[in-house]
Structures are given as C-alpha cells and as structure tokens.
Amino acid sequence: MPYTPIVATLGYVLSPDGRRVLMIHRNARPDDLHLGKYNGLGGKLDPHEDVLAGMRREIREEAGIECTQMQLRGTINWPGFGKHGEDWLGFIFTVTRFEGTPLQTNPEGALEWVDVARLHELPMWEGDRHFLPLVFDGDLRPFHGVMPYREGRMQSWSYSRM
C-alpha cells in the first residue's frame, strides 16, 4: 500500500528573548481530537503551497502575526496519528522573529505565552514530550523522527540527525 500521509506544519513562536513560546490551549471545541492539550501552531498543507508558505499561513490564521524568520527544526513521520488512523508527516519549525501582536484566542482555543522551561508541565500529547527537547536544544542540525501511533497512543519514538 502506498504511503500517502497528510502533510502538515507545526510551529513554535518564540518571544524576542527566546525564553517563552506561544502555545495554543485547545479548549474551544468539545469535538476536538486535541481537547485540553497544549500544542504549537500549524496544520495541513494546502495543495498549492510549499512548506514555508503553509507554515506562514497557519501562523497568520491562528495567531494573527507575520513570520519574518523561521528555522526548520525537524520532521516527524506520525503513522496512524489521525482520528481515523491516518498517517501524518510534519515539518517542525521555530519562529524566531515576527511582526504584529499575537491574538489572545482563536476558534481552537486560548493562545498563551509559556516559559520554554515549563513546557513539560503542560497537558500535551505524550509524544510531544519526546520531540520538544529537540526543538529547543542548541543543536542546529534538524532532527528526523518516526513516532507511530495506534488508537491515539504513541507506540515508539526514534530519530536521527546528520
């Protein structure tokens, strides 16, 4: 069977001093697969977009700001992650410069600035705890990971850097 994942972006907007990150608390829609969890910003790529354009659009739609500097931190293959077992392939970015003032809420939930050092305290996907340290470490090499899910649960995690 061919591998036909949903291609998506996931971005972590950093404050100018780099100490805080803008997270969305997914608390607005009762039918949300992510309900109650904190997450970065992002979503599915549109067919006509490259990955950078998709990331910029998602940040604009979800936070009301314009990205002026981003860095690809890694990619993750999430087989079985979707609500109905769909495979996802995500491109993970940090946004290190932006223009505008972030929204306080959007249709998915509340936007909150969180200390990077406190991220581990937040309710989030179990798998996020494995890759988030790589997003915020000082290693400039992108990571490339595989994180299979089954019935909403992470099964394993592996990654490489070159």
pLDDT tier at 33 (50, 70, 90 boundaries)?
Answer: confident
> All domains of the chain, ordered by start, with CATH?
6-161 (3.90.79.10)
Angle at 146 between CA 15 and CA 89, to 5 degrees: 65
Residue 71 reports pLDDT greater than 90: yes
How many Å separate Cα 27 from the centre of its chain? 16
Nearest-angstrom CA–CA distance, 61 and 112: 16
* Average pLDDT score over residue span 2-31: 95
Q: Please, what's the largest Cα pairwise distance for the chain? A: 46
Q: What is the pLDDT of residue 54?
A: 98
Residue 98 reports pLDDT greater than 80: yes
Residue 2 reports pLDDT greater than 90: no
* Average pLDDT score over residue span 44-73: 98
| pTM for the structure as a whole | 0.95
What is the number of other CB atoms lying within 10 angstroms of the CB of residue 118?
Answer: 10
Residue 1 reports pLDDT greater than 80: no
